Structures are given as structure tokens and as C-alpha cells.
Amino acid sequence: MSAETINSLLSFQPDAPELQRKREYDREAREFVKHINGSTPVTFLKGADSPQDPLNVLDPTTNAIAYAYTLRHRIEAAIKQTPDQVRPGGSLWNKLVLFLESFDPIQMRYAGEQWRKLVDYVEVAARNEGAPALAIAPIRSAMFRLDPTTGTFTSTHLRFIQLCMETRSYKAALPVLNNYIHSLPAAIAKETLDDLEYSVVAADSVASGEYINLKSGHTAKISLTDLQEYYVLGAMAYLGERQVKDALHFLEHVLVTPANNALNGLMLEAYKKWVLISCLADKSYKTPPRTMSSAAVKHCKNAAKAYEALAEAFQQLNNLPKLKAQVNAGSEIWAEDGNTGLVEELLEHQNRAYLSRLSRTFSAIPVSNIASNVGSSVDQVTTFVGSLIQQGLLNARLEANDKSGAGAVLRFYLDPTQGPLAKTEKQQQQALFEQTQRTDALAEQVKDADYRLSITKEYVEYVKRQKKKNGAGGGGGADAMDMTFDDGDMDEDIMGDMR
């Protein structure tokens, strides 16, 4: 490769003194991207596998933009000529993974299309090898490096959770799922950002919703159903990790989606699972969320009567045979909907709920008494209770009671500082501190969302109307802005500001 080409790729040096001001950095970065976009693909192939190989000269932590462009073109060429280099373990695969785990995140705000293509290539290469799970860690690293909050929803979010569910890598999905989605890619008016030092995308304090947008290239076009699918799959991942309250929360995101008097398959699927999971999470079937469309509630109830009948039977803790009968009667429905596992969980959970109710009445009770009440043998109940204690689902102990001859006794501990699940005061304080940190982070994201709302065209027009109304002698304060959803094509309108 010629020294001229190398010098061209190295022409953008983010650590240069003259680029320490963010606006100067922003201007030079945009000029460099414009310049490098004008280069032909063959430019990036010169010197490959030689001492002057640009992938050896460039550093992804310093020359991220140039490295991303070079790597992308090298991979595209290798797919046609030397595909082994792109396979897991190949030279380009190793460079691709290294890049996704170490690139300069500020520079990648300016090269969104290259970032997304490289993320796609790592998934394609892993799938071609028959080992899609190999792509999970690099993709997750790329998401967190670009946006530490992973809170701006992109098409990569959906592909990532699809990959995790396909490979049953539920735990691997949790770091992303645990972060709130606080922004959707939108179009921010250029005029809004002009002459504001703090608002350029290179700024340290800029929110990810400002540099990940429809024109940045970091995401393909997304729709309302993409977001719904993400939450449905995310709920299933939480279920795989037995985090039922988090799963229930994700399903509620789907249910409260504006429905425009219609019901799509994802909302119905979410409702059926929500009925079952609400029983697992709260030991009883809850009414649908109040913010759910009344038309959607009606449609869901009509289509999920078998699930609601099952939930009603579940709440009758003293009538286990009725629950078993409902489970058997709807076996084909559960199987067709892919909810057989959840339904079987209800049977186990009803016994667990029964034990929980006993703990509020008794401090200790013979296992033989429990067995007679639930219609099972002492050995079966002992095994079941032992598994609950071992999994941390029941704060109790099984104790021998040789003196009375009544066999084992189950002793409950309601005090959180006692029993096998006891937590010290320090541990409880740490849990409270972590929750406070999550709340503070969410509050900052809400402030960012409020700011972005205030600069949208719709809000500005609303403010103008209010001023005009007050100026015409309307008197009094302005009415609260109507934040209800309009009737119309909701799948398009909800993403209206994304065009």
C-alpha cells in the first residue's frame, strides 16, 4: 500500500491538540467521513497481508473510523474470495471481534453504517459456521461501547434478543434487557444543533438518542411491531432465568401499546402469557393494565378465555383438582400457543402459593399435614419443599421431629434476617443503594426524553397555538397538552417522528 493511502487513512487524529474543542472535532470527523466515503473499495484492499497492511497499521482504539471502513471492505472481498478468513478463528474474524470489543465509541458515532454492517457480519459468519452463539458476546460488546445505556432502541436490539432466544442464551441477554429503553431513533432538526458546543455528537454529555437516529446509520428502519417483539422475546428470556416480575413488566409494555381498535398477534401472545405470568408473579390473576386500550382488552379477553379460566382455577388454593382439570382440558391450546411449560409451572406454583399462605399462619407445621391437604405423599412433599428451599424460593427449613413421631417439620422464617435466605443489614443497604442508582439513572433518561420532546415540530407548533390563543384574550393558563394517541395507522403514527 502506498504511503499516500496510509497517510490518508491516518489523517484524522482525534488526540490532536486542535481537535480538543468538540466543535472542531465534530467538523473534522465529518470531513474525514466524507473524504473516506469517496474512496473506491479497491483502495482498502491494497497492501492486504503485507507489512503495510492497513489493518496492522491502524489501531481500532485510535483510528476507529478508518479501521471500520477498511475492515468492512476487506470482509466483503474475503466473503467472495477467501471465506475461511471470515470464519470464526480466521484472521478477519479475529480482527472483527477485536474491533467490536475495543473501538473508539466517539468516532463510531460518525460511522454508524460501518458499525451496523460489521455487527451484521459477525452474526452472519457465526451462523454460517453453525454456531450462532459465538456472535452474542461481540454484538453485546459493540452495543455497550456505542451506547453504555443501550437505551436507544435499534434494529440491533431485536437481532440480539432473537439470537439469544434461538441459542437459549438467556443469561447473556440480561445486561441489555436490564437497561430501560428510553429513546427511539428519530430525526433531529439540524437547526437545533447549530452553534451549540455541548450538543455536537462528540460531546461527553450528549444522550445516545441524539447521535443514534434515522440518518446516523446505526439502525435499520424500525416499526412498532419490532419494539413489541423485542419486549415479548425479552419477557421469555427473563422467564428462562425465572425472573417472573421482570417478564411481567416487559409484557405490560406490549399490552399498553396503542391498538387503534385492532389487535395484532404480538399483543394477543403477550396477553396470554401475561395472564399466566401474573399468577406466577403475584399469586393471583390481575386485571389488565388501566392504560391498555379498552378495545384491545375486549379482543384479548374473547381470544384468551381458556387462559382466564385457568387463572381463576389457580386462585383457588384449596382446590388443586380443579386446576389440574383445567390444565388437562386445554392441553392442545397450551401446546399450540407454546405455553405448555408456563401452564405446568402454574401447578407447581399453586403448591408454592399454598405453602406461602401457611407461613402466614404457622411458624412450623408437620410435613405429613401438608401432604394430606394437597393429596400427595410425604416423600413427594418433602422433595418438593427441599427443592424450593435449595432454589432460594422459600425461606424455611426442614427439621426432624423424632420426639413427637410426626416426622419432618417445616419451619418458616418471616424475618428477613433469619433462615437460609437471611440477609445482613449491610446486604440490605447495598440492595437499597443499587435500586437508588437505577432510579437516578432513569430520572436522567426521563429528563433527556423531555428535552427531545420539547424540540419536536409537534411540540413547537403546540406552544405557538397556545401563545396565539392566550394572545387573543383567552385568559387563564394554557391547558395541559393533549398527550393521548390519535386514531389512525398506529404502526406508522407511533414512529411518525422517525421519518
H/E segment holding residue 490: helix 490-493
pLDDT value of position 403 = 56
Is residue 448 in a domain?
Answer: no
Closest CA to 217 of 146, 281, 278: 146
- The list of the chain residues with pLDDT below 50 reads 193-198, 475-499
pLDDT value of position 34 = 93
Distance, C-alpha 289 to centroid of its chain: 21
Closest CA to 20 of 99, 106, 149: 106
Same domain, 168 and 216: yes
Same domain, 94 and 171: yes
Q: Give CA–CA dist 107/111, Å, rounded.
A: 7
Is residue 489 in a domain?
Answer: no
- In the three-class reduction of DSSP (H, G, I as helix; E, B as strand; rest coil), residue 238 is classed as helix
pLDDT value of position 277 = 93
pLDDT value of position 89 = 93
Same domain, 231 and 217: no
Q: Give CA–CA dist 333/20, Å, rounded.
A: 63
Same domain, 271 and 287: yes
pLDDT value of position 132 = 96
Is residue 416 in a domain?
Answer: yes
Q: How many CA atoms lie within 13 A of 490 on its CB side?
A: 17
Report how far apart, in Å, the C-alpha atoms of 231 and of each of 153, 219, 272, 333, 353 are: 11, 18, 14, 23, 27
Residue 374, domain CATH: 1.10.10
For residue 207, the one-letter residue type is: A
Q: Give CA–CA dist 318/269, Å, rounded.
A: 29
Q: What is the dihedral of CA 197, 198, 201, 202, to 10 degrees?
A: 80
Same domain, 204 and 259: no
Q: What is the DSSP string of 436-467?
A: HHHHHHHHHHHHHHHHHHHTSHHHHHHHHHHH
Is residue 451 in a domain?
Answer: no
Specify the length of the chain in residues: 499
Q: Give CA–CA dist 245/282, Å, rounded.
A: 8
The neighbour count for residue 240, using CB atoms within 10 Å, is 18
Domain boundary among 222, 253, 282: 222
Same domain, 327 and 348: yes
Is residue 154 in a domain?
Answer: yes
Provide the domain count of the chain. 3
Same domain, 162 and 115: yes
β-partners of residue 398 are: 410
Same domain, 341 and 407: no
β-partners of residue 123 are: none
β-partners of residue 366 are: 409
Is residue 449 in a domain?
Answer: no
pLDDT value of position 377 = 80
Is residue 337 in a domain?
Answer: yes
Q: Give CA–CA dist 281/308, Å, rounded.
A: 16
Report how far apart, in Å, the C-alpha atoms of 358 and of each of 22, 37, 285, 486 are: 63, 69, 20, 49
Is residue 371 in a domain?
Answer: yes
Same domain, 196 and 245: no
Domain boundary among 222, 241, 265: 222
Domain boundary among 222, 240, 273: 222
CB burial string 133-154: b at 16+ within 10 A, e below: ebbbebbbbbbbbbbebbbbbb
Distance, C-alpha 216 to centroid of its chain: 21
Same domain, 311 and 429: no
Domain encompassing residue 156? 3-222
Burial of 429 (0-12, 13-18, 19+ CB in 10 A): exposed
Same domain, 48 and 192: yes
Q: Give CA–CA dist 48/176, Å, rounded.
A: 36
- In the three-class reduction of DSSP (H, G, I as helix; E, B as strand; rest coil), residue 422 is classed as coil
- C-beta separation of 363 from 378 below 8 A: no
Report how far apart, in Å, the C-alpha atoms of 37 and of each of 34, 43, 73 are: 5, 11, 12
Closest CA to 116 of 143, 95, 135: 143
Same domain, 9 and 138: yes
